[in-house]
Chains A and B, each alone.
Chain A
Amino acid sequence: MAAARTFVAVAALGAAVVALWLHGPALLITAVAGFAAHSFRSGGVRRTLRDSLPLAMFLGFIAVLQLASGSAGWELPLRALAVFWFAAVAFGVLPWNQLVVLARPPSPFFSVVLFLLFLRHFALVLRDEVRRVLQARRLCVRYRFGAGSFRSLVWAVVALFRRALVRAERFYAAQWLGGIVP
C-alpha cells in the first residue's frame, strides 16, 4: 500500500514539475488533469474550488499587476493552479510515517523528506491563517459584496502576508535552535 501511494505521489509531483515547462493546449490539458486528480482525491469539485480560492485570489492580484504593466497572460495563473493541484495530491497521498522511518540523517534522502515536511507543514499553517483571516473578515463586514467588502478583503490579504512572514520567521528560528537548519 505504501509503495502504491509513493508511486502516485511521485507521479503527481512529476506532473507538477512538468507543468512548469508546458505551454498552450498541453498546459491546459495538464491543468484539467490536475483539477480532476485533486477533485478525486479531495472528494469533489466544490472542495477543489474552495481549496483553490486563496491561490486564485493571489493569482488575480498578480494578473491585475500584469494588466497594469501591459503584459497579462493566462498561462502563469493556469500553471500555478496546475502545480498546486498536483502538489496537493502528492502531499496528500505520500506515506509520511513510513518515509520518516526510512529516512535517517545523515542520508541525503532525509534532507529531501525534511524539506517536503517543511513545505507541507507551512502549507497547513498558511491554510489555518487564511481560514482565521477570512473568518475574522466575515464577522466584521456586514456584506460579503458591497460597501467595505473590497477594502476589508485588501486588509485581510495584507494581514495574511504579515502573519505568513511572522510564522515563517518563527518556524525557521525554531528549526535553527533545534540544529535542523543552518
Chain B
Amino acid sequence: MKTILDVDGLSFAYGRKQVLANIRFSVSEGESVGLLGANGAGKSTLLWCLLGLLRGEGPVRVFGERPGAHAARRVGVVFQNPEDQLFMPTLAADLALPQLNRGIAPEQAHAGAVEALRSAGLAACAGEPAMHLSLGQRKRAAIALALIQRPELLILDEPTSELDGGSVRHLVELLRQLPMSKLITSHQLEFLAKVTSRIVVLHEGRIVAEGPAEAIVSNQELLLRCGLI
C-alpha cells in the first residue's frame, strides 16, 4: 500500500525542553492509525508538526511533500474543540465557506454543505449556529466540515473528549464508515481499539510501542507504564 504520511526521526523542542524525540512511524493509504498517549505525552505537538504549523527537526512527508499549506489541502483536521473551526452564524455557512473560498458557486456550495450535514445526521441544524448545539453535534459538524473538503487523510485530535457514551457510539459508527486514511489521537483505549487497526504509543515525547490495536490495548504493563490506566 502507498505510504501517505511518513515521519522518519522527527524531534521537536520548545526552547530547551525536548517535547518529541526521534519519532518514526507511517500511515498507509486507507489505514486507520491511533496515536495513544497520556496528557503531555506530545500528541498535539506531533500533530502540529505533521500539519506544518510547527517545524521540527527530521524529515516529515505528507503525500510525499513537506508539511505546509499545499499538503494540508489533502488533509482534513478535526480539532479537539469544535469552536475552533465553527464560527459562522449558521452551520450551513460554516460548511459552505471552504468551498466558496475555492471558487465554487454559492448555490452549489450551500447545497454541498446541506448534503454534508445530512450525512452527519445534522440536516435539521443547518440554519443553527454551532454554539446552539450539543457538544456531540458540534463534533459531528466539525467532522462534516473536514470531510467536505474531500480529504485523503483525516486527522482527529482527541475526538471523544467531553463526549458522553451515546455520542462516542455515534462517532465510532461515523468514523467506521469513512474510507480514507485516519490518524486519531486519544487516550481512550476502548475508542481507539474500535476505530483503528494500529496504535502508536507516545510516552514523554518518544514512541514506546507500536502494533495492532487489540494487542496494544490489552498490554496492561505497557499502559500502566505510560500512565494510560
Contact = CB atoms under 8 A, between A and B. Distances in A.
Interface string B69-106: 10011010101110111011110010001101111001
A104 B106 contact: yes
Looking at B48, B77, B85, B98, which has the most chain A CB atoms within 10 Å of its CB? B85
Given A118-B87, A170-B79, A170-B84, A179 B102 contact: yes
A105 B88 CA distance: 15
Given A124-B131, A125-B83, A178 B98 contact: yes
B48 A173 contact: yes
A177 B101 contact: no
Contacts of A174: 77, 79, 84-85
Interface residues of A, number: 21
B53 interface: yes
A155 interface: no
Contact of B88 (A100, A104, A173, A176): A100
Looking at A121, A167, A171, A174, which has the most chain B CB atoms within 10 Å of its CB? A174
Contacts, number: 60
B194 to A, nearest CB: 26
A117 interface: yes
A178 B90 CA distance: 17
A97 interface: yes
A161 B6 CA distance: 36
B193 interface: no
Nearest to B75: A177
Contacts of A125: 83
Interface of A: 96-97, 100, 104-105, 117-118, 120-121, 124-125, 167, 170-171, 173-174, 176-180
